[in-house]
Amino acid sequence: MVDEVFNHNNSCCVDDDLLPNIKCIPAEYMECNGLSSGENDIFAYVDKDSPISENEKAVDDEMEIIKVILTNRGWNLGSQNGYRIDLSQFNVMKILNDLFEESTDAALALYFFRWSEYCMGSKHTVESVCTMIHILVSGNMNHKAMDLLLHLISYNSGEEGWHNIFLKIQETHTKRRVLETVYGMLVNCYVKENMTQVALKLICKIRHLNIFPLIGVCNSLLKALLESEQLNLAWDFLKEMKSQGIGLNASIISLFISGYCNQGNIDTGWKLLMEMKYLGIKPDVVAYTIVIDSLCKMSLLKEATSILFKMTQMGVFLDSVSVCSVVDGYCKVGKSEKAMDVLEVFYLSPNIFVFNSFISKLCTDGNMLKAAKVFQDMCEMGLIPDCFSYTTMMAGYCKVKDISNALKYLGKMLKRGIRPSVATYTLLIDSCCKPGNMEMAEYLFQRMIVEGLVPDVVSYNTLMNGYGKKGHLQKAFELLSMMRSAGVSPDLVTYNILIHGLIKKGLVNEAKDILDELTRRGFSPDVVTFTNIIGGFSNKGNFEEAFLLFFYMSEHHLEPDVMTCSALLNGYCRARRMAEANVLFHKMLDAGLKADVILYNSLIHGFCSLGNIDDACHLVSMMIEHGIMPNNITHHALVLGYEKKCVENPVERAAFKLQQILLKCGIQAEDDR
């Protein structure tokens, strides 16, 4: 056999889980280059005297079969001089082909493919992988071939990469039929990887070999082009399909209708649907439902309903999906009676989807008595509530702060054998955290894990936020360690929760350390991150650090919002440095800040705490001129100001002053002010 130097530049990756669980050949084999000699032959990978497991016995059997086949094909595996086979690219490719030709067992060839890579300690070349792919397709193991193709793509990127794969597949093929299938699968892999431009280039290449992908692959590419809003390319490819003799059908046209509707261009989608008959294609229920669903999402429910009538006139069978889309649309805009009318007119018996639509609307409105009645009616009709039904009911009860009834529905759900989702537990955990019931929140979190569910980052953040608000920072950081151990990556919300908790405890420097860690880990802090820490420093009177962070925001391309400015100004108000606060406030207004009632009240309270009624009243006038009405907090601040000035009847005086300011601004004050 001719030695070939292993080409590392053309190597590809195979997952670790593809590697066989075996004891490999002697270590000295790995040191040899080309043919080498020794006492053991290449297949003596298990010590015959050592006890072997069932798994190792199966490995032994597989290798014995391979050994027999290769011996029959003329391979010298254990000659007297002890030579072993070099696992070069040439040898591996030839052995793979010999194994499949002799046994017609692609799985056996795949076994040797994995084993040889494991023994070599390096990846197979592109040529070897392509040979294995052809064998897998020939042996009806297309799913394994797809795995190898996806690995080839991931390790051979760029213009040169896809072209190299194209050439190697052609060079290593032995059967035309298999080549056509492999190229079709390769196109599909590029579509799956959202590499539509490469897929189109590849199709152009294989056309020169008189090969064109099957209609299923073409439809996948069309769908990908339309989803990425490449409509012109999609139409061009459709023409190409027609030139290859692939006839148009309702499914293909529906892809284009969906593409236009997803862009919000429903008129063009509808026009295309109406023109289908001129192409000799009868529009089906799927095409109509795409347009109906898009109209419902835009709350154009009259138009959607009229299409249902048009479908019946044209003899198109209405299915539950098309009717339910309209029913759901009416429910979402609070027109439950209209939804019921649609059900009656089109003779659709309410199904689980319809009931869920009604229940969802009632729960959103907080009408839990009626929601519970509809839920009960659904059960009495013999319909089995699904996870969404129960979760919606629980969310409704949580919204009205009735955690007790929410937990009852969890109990009913478990009793019926319906498995809650992570989202189900997360909303219950959140509802327990809000009133500070951390014991129940922790129990639900642990229950979720016991049931085999994997908490996601939202679940961890929800519980962590609960602990942070209660000041249990140790618990919050324990959860951070726990989520990392579970392989769940913390996100920006996670870090913002920890920062907020530290700030509440007065640990501002520690919060700043987390900000530094954020940037080191590649996260981009948001306005919330900076606002929390700026507020922490300014409340401590450390305005130098607060301003450094304030200006540092621009480096992250972030604009301070009203909350950020409030955090900074609140610090000045706390420190009773109102002159500086006032100057800063007007600078912020000049920079385009839109102050809210909270910010105005903070400044008004700051001036009033010093007994400075005049400046406080000036701010009240300002806020009214900017369309912001004073509220009870404004009144209480003025009362404080008059108390500081030792004015008699400060409550009445503050109310009278507000009346005067409102009248001056042309606003009639209410009688009870």
Q: Which amino acid is at 78?
A: G
Higher pLDDT, 473 or 343: 473
**Count of CB atoms situated within 10 Å of the CB of 237:** 19
Query: What's the rounded Cα separation, in Å, for the pair 330 and 29?
Result: 73
Could you list the residue range(s) of the whole structural domain that residue 84 is in? 1-174
Task: Evaluate if residue 44 carries a pLDDT over 60.
Answer: no
The Cα 356–Cα 350 span in angstroms is 10
d(CA 513, CA 501): 13
Residue 25 lies in a domain: yes
Q: Is the pLDDT of residue 477 over 50?
A: yes
Q: Is residue 357 part of a domain?
A: no
pLDDT of residue 419: 94
Q: 3-state secondary structure string, 48-102?
A: CCCCCCHHHHHHHHHHHHHHHHHHHCCCCCCCCCCCCCCCCHHHHHHHHHHHHHH
Task: Decide: 273 and 282 in contact? Cβ < 8 Å.
Answer: no
Render pLDDT for 503-545 as a digit per residue (tens, 0 to 9).
999 999 999 999 988 888 888 899 999 999 999 999 998 999 9
Beta pairing partners, 11: 125
Q: Which of 473, 495, 437, 428 is nearest to 455 (CA)?
A: 428
Q: What is the pLDDT of residues 134-169, one digit of tens each?
A: 999 999 999 999 999 998 998 887 778 898 899 999
Instruction: Assign 41 a pLDDT band (cuts: 50, 70, 90).
Output: very low
The owner of tokens 């020794």 is: 38
| Number of domains comprising the chain | 2
pLDDT at 306: 92
Domain end marker among 158, 174, 190: 174
CA distance linking residue 421 with residue 411, whole number of Å = 14
In sequence order, the 6+-apart residues with CB closer than 8 A to the CB of 430 are 398, 462, 466
Radius of gyration of the chain (CA): 35
Per-residue pLDDT band for 615 (boundaries 50, 70, 90) equals very high
pLDDT single digits (tens) 77-118: 654 433 356 778 888 888 888 888 888 888 888 988 888 888
The reported pLDDT for the residue numbered 119 is 79
- Longest Cα–Cα distance in the chain: 117
Q: Which two tokens stand for residue 173?
A: 């093929």
CA pair distance 230, 197, nearest whole angstrom: 10
CA distance 662 to 668: 7
Find all residues with CB under 8 Å of 70, minimum gap 6, and list them. 77, 95, 98, 99
CA distance 658 to 613: 12
pLDDT in tens, 267-319: 999 999 998 888 888 888 999 999 999 999 999 999 999 999 999 888 888 88
Ramachandran angles phi, psi of 43, nearest 5°: -95, 5
CB of 251 closer than 8 Å to CB of 219: yes
Over pLDDT 70: what percentage of the chain? 88
Instruction: Please calculate the CA angle 620-623-628 and round it to the nearest 5 degrees.
Output: 120
Q: Report whether 260 contacts 228 (CB < 8 A).
A: no
Query: Residue 137 and residue 188: Cα distance in Å, rounded?
Result: 15
d(CA 517, CA 581): 31
Whether residue 58 is predicted with pLDDT greater than 70 in this model: the reply is no
Given pLDDT bands bounded at 50, 70 and 90, which one contains residue 665? confident
Helix, strand and coil in the chain, % to nearest 5: 70, 0, 30
Distance from the Cα of residue 144 to its chain's centroid: 27
- pLDDT band of 664, cuts 50, 70, 90: confident
Domain end position, chosen among 174, 192, 211 = 174
Q: Is residue 239 part of a domain?
A: no
Query: What is the pTM for the complete model shown?
Result: 0.61
Q: What is the pLDDT of residue 76?
A: 63
- Residue 614 contacts residue 622 (beta carbons within 8 Å): no
As separate numbers, helices (DSSP H) first and strands (DSSP E) second, the chain gives 34, 0
394 domain residue, yes or no: no
Chosen domain end from 122, 149, 174: 174
- Predicted local confidence at residue 81, as pLDDT: 38
Residue with tokens 């610090």: 571
248 in any annotated domain: no
Residue-level pLDDT at 78: 54
Residue pair 135/175 in contact by the 8 Å Cβ criterion: no
Q: Answer yes or no: is pLDDT of 445 > 90.
A: yes
Q: How far apart are CA 642 and CA 631, in angstroms?
A: 17
- Give the model's confidence band at 189: pLDDT under 50 very low, under 70 low, under 90 confident, else very high: very high
What integer is the mean pLDDT of 322-327?
90
pLDDT of residue 60: 55
- The percentage of the chain sitting over the pLDDT mark of 90, rounded to a whole number, equals 46
Residue 327 lies in a domain: no
CB 11 within 8 A of CB 155: yes
- pLDDT of 361 reads 87
The span from the CA of 668 to the CA of 651, in Å, is 20
Residue 527: count other Cβ atoms within 10 Å of its Cβ.
Answer: 15
**495 in a structural domain:** no
CA-CA distance, 260 to 240, in Å (whole number)?
20
pLDDT of residue 21: 39
Give the ranges where 521-558 is alpha helix by DSSP (H): 527-539, 543-552
56: left (phi over 0), alpha (psi -120 to 50) or beta: alpha
Question: Of the candidates 259, 256, 260, which has an alpha carbon nearest to the alpha carbon of residue 268?
Answer: 260
- Residue 417 inside a domain? The answer is no
Can you name the residues that pair with 125 across neighbouring β-strands?
A: 11
